[in-house]
Amino acid sequence: MERVIIAAVLVVTALAIAAVLVRRRGVDAPTQPRWSVPTQLDRSDFDGSDRPFLVVVFTSATCESCERATAKARVVESPSVAYIEVTYQDRKDLHDRYTIEAVPCILVTDREGAVRASFIGVPTATDLWAAVAEAREPDLGRPNSPT
């Protein structure tokens, strides 16, 4: 009988200690959602497939920040960089095909459709220009390696 009482006291003590430790532990910070971004596009899905690079901006007509994103992305268009805006209301099929879950979503792709850079939200003009420059000249700005 003594052993049963000792075991019960030990179990109650262990539960009390566990309860105190759980209360002391802080609440975890809320996690932020993560959206997947395509790593490859089929260039034939978009106009401008004749140019070496493509900047695709997935948008929605109901998105306030999409206008700012398209304004920044539109200016990178050049003879070697095509700019395409893909609005959800007009091309839901492409949003679904590439599993675009958040807009604006900007993708910078090369001739094969490999995504070289991506942005969810409105990037700074500097970041967008740098991403396009890096896609065009991958070794530009990297220090020369010793020979």
How far is it, in rounded angstroms, from Cα 42 to Cα 112? 8
Residue 74 within any structural domain of the chain: yes
Q: What is the mean pLDDT of residues 64-89?
A: 95
Percent of the chain with pLDDT over 90: 63
Residue 110 within any structural domain of the chain: yes
- Check residue 123 and give its pLDDT: 95
Percent of the chain with pLDDT over 70: 89
Instruction: Check which CATH number belongs to the domain holding 59 and give it.
Output: 3.40.30.10
Specify whether the CB–CB gap between 135 and 53 falls below 8 A: yes
Specify whether the CB–CB gap between 63 and 103 falls below 8 A: yes
Task: Indicate the pLDDT class of residue 26, thresholds 50, 70 and 90.
Answer: low
How far is it, in rounded angstroms, from Cα 75 to Cα 83? 8
Specify whether the CB–CB gap between 135 and 115 falls below 8 A: no
Residue 112 within any structural domain of the chain: yes
Q: Which of 119, 135, 140, 138 is nearest to 72 (CA)?
A: 119
Positive or negative, the Cα torsion across 89, 90, 94, 97? positive
Domain that holds residue 73: 43-136
- Check residue 34 and give its pLDDT: 75
Q: Which of 118, 106, 120, 113 is nearest to 46 (CA)?
A: 113
Residue 64 within any structural domain of the chain: yes
Residue 26 within any structural domain of the chain: no
- Check residue 20 and give its pLDDT: 75
> Does position 112 have pLDDT exceeding 80, yes or no?
yes
State the greatest distance between any 2 C-alpha atoms of the chain, in Å, as a whole number. 90
Task: Indicate the pLDDT class of residue 141, thresholds 50, 70 and 90.
Answer: low
Residue 147 within any structural domain of the chain: no
Residue 62 within any structural domain of the chain: yes
Residue 114 within any structural domain of the chain: yes
pTM of this prediction?
0.72
Amino acid letter at 132? V
Q: What is the mean pLDDT of residues 100-111?
A: 95
Domain count, the chain: 1
Alpha helices in the chain (DSSP H): 2-24, 64-74, 92-97, 125-136
Weakest-pLDDT range from 34-38, 59-63, 91-95, 119-123: 34-38
Task: Indicate the pLDDT class of residue 7, thresholds 50, 70 and 90.
Answer: confident
- Check residue 146 and give its pLDDT: 47
